Amino acid sequence: MITAAPWLVLVMLGTSAPAEAPEGTPAAPAQVQEVDAPVPPVNQRRPWSTDRYFAEELSDLEFQAEMKKSPLREDYIKKTLSLVESNPNHPQAADLYYRIAEFMTQNVEAEYQSALRAFRLLESEGAGRMTPPKPDFSRSLPYYRKILQEFPEYTKVEEVYYYFGRNALLTASFKTNQDLARDAAAYLESFINRFPDSRFRTRAELMLAEYYFEDNNLAKALEHYQAISDNFPDSPMVDYATYKLGWVYYNYQQYESCVASFRKVMENQEKAGQKGSELYGQALNEYVLAVSEAGLGWKDALDFLGARLEAKEARARMLQIADLMATKDFSDEAVALYRYYMKADPIDPGVVDLWNRMLTAARVSFSLPQMNALLDEMRAFFAPAGTFMEKASADTRVEANQLLLRWDLVMAERDLEDGLYRTGGLPALEKAAAKLEGLAANGGEPEGAHRRRAGDGLRGAPQGKLQRRGHLDLREPAGSGSARGLRAAQEA
């Protein structure tokens, strides 16, 4: 359901424990791994995830300073471990264990930052498909756990709960350890319940939401994404949480709430001056897809997109919705949307493409009489003496005539199949024969086109063959015999 453990992006949430912490431990560096071959997704539709809203990006100077601190932190860890091992009843044992775990955490984060920078550099240089580095905080876990078990009244137990849960959850992904992941989630749940006002709460809520979402526990994912949306409206991660809420609703097939979530993300990003952000673009993409599957019509989307996109982009997005609707058993809605744009500018050359899209959509669910009526309407629209053809360029007239021919062939084939395999019988076969004979008699052109050959750009085109042009999709609509019908006309 989700691309490789998106809650991994939270590795840098709260990257340092309390500010007064010194320095500490370089665990084994995270490795950038080459992937031999692309791995196909389990599902075609997956949510976008990013660390941009969570990671505390370091400047070059900050990063260099952190890397210089790592050996100092490691030296402190060794000396402190020696101290507590030789004196297990040390009066400040809890604080010493905390410092050990804290410095180990900080060093892993520094190494992760280093590996992440290397990964991004290789990625920018086109090094091929790679898996991003993952952190391993396993070295810190025994010390955080020891504090929770032996020093439950420790003054910094709030931080211990959070960092143990966070580090364990991230490490569980690195090691694909489901038992550790469940243990980590339980500690983060306890952390939220015990410290609802903690400065780490939003981070814990989001980590749990992402974990449960990947684990396909939608109810728990919904609970934690919703907690961010309801309780932390000013958090920098609220829009991302709302975006993922949309995905939860999508998986529940609650499309109205799904659409509303993506709309809210876009509106909030606009208010924040982030209309060009990657999150905005992703929410727009998902909004288009959700509208096409929701069965709620397209007029609200027309108003919503028209109010925030340039006219050309809004039109392209709405036609994308129509194309998708046609594949989701909403062909009537798709046809109505194509008609809307045809009526908006009936002499635009793009109307040829709209007719093709509309007929392709209608063919999914329209009856044979309905399709024939639609074809008669298209013939009238592209009549040689009609307004469109009178004002169209020579190239556009060629495209229109090719489209008429294509759909005459498609419908002749449909009559043929109706006669051979369904209930049409002899009358349907006679219709098919008449249509094919008419096309052959006209040299493979739609009826009436031969009378205007000199004026519509067909002069010099081989008769009996289609003149294909790169900017019109002339592929046959879905159907087993369209190509056969086309070849029959070409050979006639």
Residue 476 lies in a domain: yes
Residue 331 lies in a domain: no
Most confident segment among 49-63, 393-407, 475-489 = 393-407
Residue 292 lies in a domain: no
Residue 404 lies in a domain: yes
Residue 307 lies in a domain: no
Q: What average pLDDT does the chain have?
A: 80
- End residue of a domain, out of 151, 178, 195: 195
- The count of structural domains within the chain is 2
Exposed, middle or buried by CB within 10 Å (0-12, 13-18, 19+), for 64? exposed
Task: Determine contact, residues 224/205, Cβ cutoff 8 Å.
Answer: yes
- End residue of a domain, out of 167, 195, 223: 195
Q: How confident is the model at residue 45 (pLDDT cuts 50, 70, 90)?
A: low
| Digit-coded pLDDT (tens) for 133-172 | 888 999 999 999 999 999 999 999 999 999 999 999 999 9
Closest CA to 130 of 5, 38, 224, 230: 38
Residue 456 lies in a domain: yes
- Give the integer Cα–Cα distance in Å for 306 and 309: 6
- pTM for the full predicted model: 0.75
Residue 75 CA, chain-centre distance (Å), reads 46
Domain containing residue 380: 345-491
Closest CA to 24 of 60, 93, 78: 78
Closest CA to 25 of 63, 61, 82, 78: 78
Q: How confident is the model at residue 367 (pLDDT cuts 50, 70, 90)?
A: confident
Q: How many residues does the chain have?
A: 492
- End residue of a domain, out of 141, 172, 195: 195
Amino acid identity of 226?
Q
Residue 335 lies in a domain: no
Residue 141 lies in a domain: yes
